[in-house]
Structure 1
Amino acid sequence: MTVSFRAENCVGCGLCEITCPKSAINVYKIESGYHAEIEGCIDCGVCTVYCQYGALHLDSSPYQKILDRMHYSKVEVEGCVYCGICAENCPRDAIDVEKRLEKEKVRNGFIRIGEGCIQCRNCVIFCPTDAVRLIRGKPVIDESKCIYCQICQASCPKDVIEIHCDSCKLSMEYAISGDIQISDSCSLCLTCEKVCQFDAIHVNRLFEGEQRFIAERCLGEECSICMNICPNSAIGYEYGEGKVVVFSDACNYCGKCEKYCPGDAIEIVRHVSDRYTEIHLPEKRRDYHEIRALVSVDDSCIGCHFCEAVCKIAKDAEMSAIRGEVELEGCTTCGLCESVCPMGSIKIVERY
C-alpha cells in the first residue's frame, strides 16, 4: 500500500508538501506539468485529505477511515432533476450527468410556452419527432411535427411547456431520472452549487480559512500571476490608491497563489471546518524560498514579449532576449510564461 500520484490532476499548489508530517513528498515542476517524488511515506493519508484536486490517492489510511465513518463526500446531491447545468459549468469537468426518459410516466397533449426556460435541452433531446428547438433561449415547437405526446412537458424541470390532450386522463409526473457522478478532480469551487436552480447539489469543504494580502509586498499592476494561475479562478483585483487582491468564495485555500507569488504578498491560513473536527491537519512544514527556478528559452522564440506581458519578473529580466538556460532571480516557477508562449519556446523546471 502506497500513495499514488495522478499527474493529470495536480496543479502544483504544494499543500501535500507543506503538511506531510514526514516531509515525504516533493512535487517538482517539470516540462510536461508536475511530478511527485514520494519517499519515507508512512501511509497516514494526510496528503490525500488535503489535496483539493484528486492528485493523490491511498486505498486505506487512518484519515480515510475517519472520512468513511463520517460518510464524507466532496459533493452531496439530493433532489436533482438531471438538467446537466452543473456539468456544463464545472471548470474541471468533474461532473458527469446521465439522464434517462421514464416512458411509463409520459402521456399525450395542446401547446402553450411560458417563461423561465433554463436551456437544459431536455425537451429537444427527448422529443420523438424532432419537433422542439431552442431559439433565443426559449423552446419553440413545430406543430406540424408535434404528436402531443407531452414528453417535452414531462421532461421540463421548470414547467415552461404545457401540452393538453383531451384523450389523456393521467396526472403528469416529472419523467426524467438519471445518475450524477463526481470525480476526484472536483476542486470544491462551489460553481455547481451556485448554478443549480433546485438547490440539489451541495459542496462539503473539509476546511475553511482566510486569505491575507500584504499590499506593500505586491509587485503592483504589472504582476497578475496570482489571478492567472488560480485553479479555481477565485482571484480578482480592485484598484483605488493601489492594487488590492480580492478573493471570491470559489477559493478552496489550496495556497497555489501563496506559493507562486513572487513578492510573498499572499498568505493563506486554514483551519478544519466545525463539521469535521475529527480530522487533524498539520501545520505548514515547507518554505518555498528554497526553490530554484531553471528557465530554458530555445531558438524558436520570436521575441513577441508575451512572457514579459504576463510576468514582471520576465519583464525585468528582458526574457524575450534570453536564449538557453538561466536562473531568474525572483522566479517562482509558476509556469505562466510557459503557458502563454505561442511558440512553445519556454520550459520551466524546479530545482531544490
Structure 2
Amino acid sequence: MTFAPRPVATTDRPAVALYSDTLTLPSEAMKRAMFDAALGDEQAGLDPTVNELCRRVAALFGKEDAVFLPSGTMCNQIAMLVHCRPGDLVLAHEDAHVLAHEAAAGSALGGVLIGGLRGARGQFDSATLTGAIRARSRYAPIPRLLVIEQTSHLGGGSVWPLERLRDVAACARSNDMALHMDGARLMNGVISSGVSASDMARDFDSVWLCFSKGLGAPFGAVLAGSSEFIDVAWRWKQRLGGAMRQVGMYAAACIFALDHNVQRLVEDNANASRLAAGIADLPGLAVQQPDTNIVLFRTEGTGLTSAELRDRLAAEGVSVTAMDHFLGRAVTHMHVDRDGIDLAIGAFRKVLGAN
C-alpha cells in the first residue's frame, strides 16, 4: 500500500482540506505583489526582488548570506553536499525529513550515510547523540553533520525547546560536527514558543525556511549561512540545475508572506489544538496534542487502518493523510478556519460512531 497525501474525494459539499499545508494558495494581495515585482536574471545575481528576499531571510536568522532555492528538499541536500564528503556520517532523528521523505537523496547525490537517532516526538537529547558517535577510526564513517528539524514533522509539529537545541548543538560541536537546521515550518515554532528565529538558528551553520507551506507562497525556500557556505551552496545549486532566471515574482510572494503571513500562524496552531481536543475522546483513536499545526492520530484501536479512516472522512468532505498503516495526519493552514475545524470534528465523530 502506498501512503501519500491525496486530494479529498469529490462530494457535493465543500471540502475541509487537512491533508497538508502545502495546498495553500496565494491571496489576491500576494498575487498583486508578484505582478508588481521588479525582475532580473537571478542566476547572475541581478534579480532585485530575489536579492531583497535573501537579505531579509539572512537577517531573520542572523546569518551573513542566503540563497533562493526551489524547494526545502534542495536546501537540505545542498547543505549536506556543502558540509559533507562521500562516506561521511550525517546524524538526524530517525523520523527526520532527510531520512523519511527525500528518496534517499543524501546517499544518491552525496554518498553520505544518514544515521537515525531515537527520541520522543522527533527529538533527541545530547546523551543519545553522544551514544551514536563512534570513536574516530579508519573503519568507521566520520560523523560530519547533525541535522535538526524545527518543527519536527513526524513529531507532530513538535517544537524543540531552546535549551535542548543548544545542548545538542554543544555536543555536536565538541565532536567536530557541523550543524544544519531543517526549518520547513520553523515560523510555526517561533509563533508557538515565542523564541525568535535568530535565537533558534544561532548555533547552526546552515538553516532554511520554506515559503510554500503555512506561509502561503506558491514556491520557494531560502537557505542561509555564512558567506563562505553560501558561495559553495551556489556551486551546488548550479550543478543541480537550481539556478533560475526572472523569479522575482516568486520572491515577491515570499516577501509578502514575511510581512503578512507570519503572525497569522497563531490561528493555524490554535485550530490544530481545537481539532485535537475535539477528537481526543473518540473511541479507539489515539490523538497527539500538537505544539503547532500538525495533528497526528493512531487508528489501531478503532479497527480501521489510517487509509480506511482517510477514505471514510473523504466521503464526508474532509481530507487527511494516511502516513503509515495506522498513523494519520491532519495539518491546519490558512484555508481552513474555525468553522472548517468544527466540520472536521463532526466528520471524525460521525465516522467513528460518536454522534
Verify same fold: TM over 0.5: no
Q: TM-score, normalised by structure 1?
A: 0.26
Q: Which has the higher strand share?
A: 1
Query: Between Structure 1 and Structure 2, whose CA radius of gyration is higher?
Result: 1
The structure showing larger relative contact order (alpha-carbon pairs under 8 Å, at least 6 residues apart) is 2
